[in-house]
Structure 1
């Protein structure tokens, strides 16, 4: 049985790029965002919104403003997104009906859902059969133009995703049955965000570390200048310092301070190197995971094609058998 994959992921202020803003992401999937090259992206086929009469941009502007009023505004989550693959064997009009039906299902319980159906991307390696639809879902119930005071936590539970899995599968298979095509299964997977996507607090902490590092570098340079000056002074007045115990003690204290600064600077450098190495490691893991995902999808697509070819051969064979049977029943002979 072929499989439809649905990717679930968050639209959050803590993320980079368009997904850091519900308004920008809504414009992006509608192919309306300025300054973006859509040459290699799949063109939009159809779009809509359920749960409100407002335009998508107006609604998400209000939703984003509401989340920015919370205590956790620096990491506010604006929306949830599903990216749903579509069976390419059916006409685009039927695909659109699936998208509209699924949007109505997702918009239950006073939830607002924007959807945008796209053609396959044109990038090298992309499948020409990868028709898909984006569903952008609010995090709060929306009634009479007002958002609920608290988010509906049920919407993010695994049991809720499983419920959506069954409902989406049912809608897709209704369309497939109308065209006498085999049923498909549906899988919903949460998209794991790369750890290199940093929150505002993490960014601030890194900035503070960099600032402290620069400060330590300035102190170290100043200490070197002072130490060199003290060294010259010590050589010039060695006899006098030898007789003055307090002056000797002061030099030792300053030299000890210099050593502390030097150790602190070394520690900062070591921490920075470890952080950069960890980021490179995470990026490499993300790249490998993405490559494995692409290879897995390619294998699934290849299997799907083989299944489709096998089904077509069986259909043609059955048609030939039926044709022969009908000829015998009618008494026709050569």
Structure 2
């Protein structure tokens, strides 16, 4: 609260501190004392400036900067849903974009891992686009198929090759391509394949084909392929050269596409994507969530000699 003290009186700061401490205590003991919280929010709502600062702090918590934030909001969400009419009585809250952001973050937190990944895929349309300084390019062919009887979706991916890979190393360069299908309902399905590595080639040819089964719960628009060129390293972690993302929504209309995709140093995402990532990163016992966060967090490795 130190950074906010200039615009708040000591009494206002005390109200905010009490509000946050009360909420934390309720969550710590895994219950919400509704009358207490309602009284607290009624007091807060009487002062527009206090309400504004409290919401700003809560949004800060949702952003993952406080260790108690996610358990906190899992308990607070039902209360906020049932008491929004009371909160909206103040002029500030009626017009508050911060409250809208808070509600959106809360709605994301309550989603399952599958739903969050689906939200990510269907909102993050520019992950691999607009690469200003490509570190190479990859040639792929994608074919989509839907069974007319069962509605089961299948995807065939042919990794043709890569070109103009910008990579410096003091040893042998052994590039290979790792392709991962991202989307809902894939926990019991094969999600990742990789090509064989090629020795000392900055324009390798692979010509390897892989098959993904998606099921019939969602359409192709809920899935994407992430392709990552890596340098194979024996006895240590492989190094990332560059990556690209192809969303199947861009392929669905034609059913097939063959193209060159520029390789970037990382994927990009907006605030919705970042919030989904923060939430999934807290699910340490969920293998699908852990795999997703690791995949989307990868960045180009440092080159040897640079």
Q: Which has the higher helix share?
A: 1
Q: Which has the higher strand share?
A: 2
Q: Same fold (TM over 0.5)?
A: no
TM-score calculated relative to the size of structure 2: 0.22
TM-score calculated relative to the size of structure 1: 0.21
Q: Larger C-alpha radius of gyration, 1 or 2?
A: 1
